[in-house]
Amino acid sequence: MSEQPIQQMTQQDPTSTRLIISMAVAGFFSGLIIIGIYLATFDTIKENKARELKEAVFRVLPGVTQMSQHRLEKDRVVPYAGDPDENTLYAGFGENGDFIGYALTGAGPGFQDTIKVIYGYQPESDMGARLIGMWILDSRETPGLGDKIYKDAEFVGNFDALSIEPTIKVVKKGTKTKNSEVDAITGATISSKAVVRIINIANDKWLPHLPVNPPEAPPQTQTPTPSPTQEVQ
Amino acid sequence: MAKKLDSYEEMIKGLWRENPVFVQVLGMCPMLAVTNSAVNAVVMGVATFFVLVSSSFLVSSFRGVIPKQVRISIYVVIIATFVTVADYTLLALVPAIHKELGAFIPLIVANCMILGRQEAYASKNSVKFAVLDAIGTAGGFMFALLALGGVREILGEGKIFGVPLFGDNFEPWVIMILPPGGFITLGLILLFFNWVTARRAARNQLQPQPVGSDIR
């Protein structure tokens, strides 16, 4: 297979070498472009994800101005600076560095796909251990019905002061009598129940391992932390 | 080349007379899946526009050197590259909308409208006409997405681009943003286009041509 002038090639069938070279050249430039755009957008995408997470933590822990990241390892909660995973939790602190609560996550099947939930947990309050906020991180529930689990302020508001004792229960809308009951969304009972079930299961996983003494607030100085995912500001 | 091409005509045909969705009935998958709101439709339309125009430009530029035995693979490599670029760009710029569009951004690779334009047009015409044709076709696709997305969002949520149109008493017609609403709306719009085509044919005293008969 010797190299031949291209002009001759267009008249007759090209050699297999030329076909392979054509594909290789196309693949090479494609690879260059793809890696280029990946590198160019990498930082922004990572920042977006970190900011989204931070906003979610601040949303479920009202009054929080700083947070620190921890991770459940075996049965102990330890400070953690790596990328968040399903065993990561967050501690939220008020302006004076006083501990407010934990932001815990849970995931489980919803009506259509996995629902990922983050919720604020306050170990001590005048009504005992309670939830102080809930937000949906990810879901594919039916638009217009199931997506009310995060679009319906009334349903989300259920979790703003919700006792977890003995356990959280879903009741028909308007029949809530106890502090530990949640009004279901009319037309999206399955999604409502899924959210509560996910939180109950997550509570079983987290609560036995949370330390008796809350973690220390991070230092007030706004020095950048070593890991870009752990933003303490 | 058999006939002389008119640049205005080459561009405008994709918008209406050869609209990729309403006349050629191509690209149905994103058409039905992501048109539950006007914003999603616009972002999908812009991404497809970028991929189609860039691909047509490259395919037409290299039409002399791409061996015809491997042309489809090379077209797919070119299209897939631009789709990846669009995917990462949207993820960086509009993460919330990227999340809603989900798998349908990567699936632009498989949009038969794009590969169809490369095979049927860009590989046979000069760069100028290939780009004009791509702009027209992608514009027509965007117009179709927006028409469907607009109607579905207005009826299904009572909003357009997230802005409420009616008072609190408006009861959203939820089915319109669910898959059946997509089929119903698309069916009605196709009905309208067929009616327009039949009327035009009758005026020219020609036999009406059914939808899809003039796919090239």
Contact B185, B179 (CB under 8 A): no
Tell me how close the Cα of A34 comes to any Cα of chain B, in angstroms: 6
Tell me how close the Cα of A35 comes to any Cα of chain B, in angstroms: 9
Q: Is A33 on the interface with B (CB under 8 A)?
A: yes
CA distance B183 to B151: 12
pLDDT for the residue B22: 86
Which residue in B88, B99, B154, B171 has the most chain A C-beta atoms within 10 A of its own C-beta, making it the best mutation to test that interface?
B88
How does residue B204 score in pLDDT terms, banded at 50, 70 and 90? confident
Q: Which residue of B has its CA nearest to A9?
A: B67
Query: Of B64, B74, B174, which is closest to A23 when you measure between CB atoms?
Result: B74
In the β-sheet with A99-109, what is the strand arrangement from edge to edge?
Answer: A76-79, A66-73, A88-93, A99-109, A114-122, A130-138, A162-163
Domain edges within chain B: 2-204
- Give residue A214's identity as a one-letter amino acid code: P
pLDDT for the residue A220: 58
In a domain, A17, yes or no: no
Q: What is the pLDDT along chain A (233 residues), one digit of tens a residue?
A: 444 445 544 556 788 999 999 999 999 999 999 999 999 999 999 899 888 888 999 999 998 888 888 998 888 888 888 888 888 999 999 888 888 899 999 999 998 889 999 999 998 887 788 999 999 988 888 777 888 898 888 999 999 989 888 889 899 888 888 888 999 998 889 999 999 999 999 999 999 888 887 787 776 544 444 444 444 44
Q: What is the dihedral of CA A33, A36, A40, A41, to 10 degrees?
A: 60
In a domain, A22, yes or no: no
In a domain, A223, yes or no: no
Q: What percent of chain B has pLDDT over 70?
A: 93
CA distance B7 to B97: 35
CA distance A140 to B194: 35
CB contact under 8 A, A52 and B67: no
CB contact under 8 A, A44 and B80: no
Which residue in B40, B61, B81 has the most chain A C-beta atoms within 10 A of its own C-beta, making it the best mutation to test that interface?
B81
Which residue in A9, A34, A54, A191 has the most chain B C-beta atoms within 10 A of its own C-beta, making it the best mutation to test that interface?
A34
Q: What is the pTM of this model?
A: 0.77
CA distance B184 to B26: 17
In a domain, A77, yes or no: yes
Contacts of B22 (CB under 8 A, 6+ apart): B140, B144, B189, B190, B193
Taking only residues 37 to 56 of chain A, the set having a beta carbon closer than 8 angstroms to any beta carbon of chain B reads 37-38, 40-41, 44-45, 48-49, 52
Collect all residues of chain B within an 8 Å Cβ-Cβ radius of residue A13: 69
Tell me the per-residue pLDDT of A15-48, one tens digit each, with 9 for 90 and over. 899 999 999 999 999 999 999 999 999 999 989 9
CB contact under 8 A, A143 and B91: no
Tell me the per-residue pLDDT of B128-158, one tens digit each, with 9 for 90 and over. 999 999 999 999 999 999 999 999 999 988 8
Enclosing domain of residue A127: 44-209
Contacts of B120 (CB under 8 A, 6+ apart): B216
Q: What is the DSSP string of A139-167?
A: --PPTTTTTHHHH-HHHHHTTTTEE-SS-
Q: If you compute the radius of gyration of chain A from its CA atoms, what whole number of angstroms results?
A: 25
Give me the interface pTM, i.e. the ipTM. Answer: 0.81
How many structural domains comprise chain A? Answer: 1
Q: Is A17 on the interface with B (CB under 8 A)?
A: no
Three-state DSSP at A7 gives helix
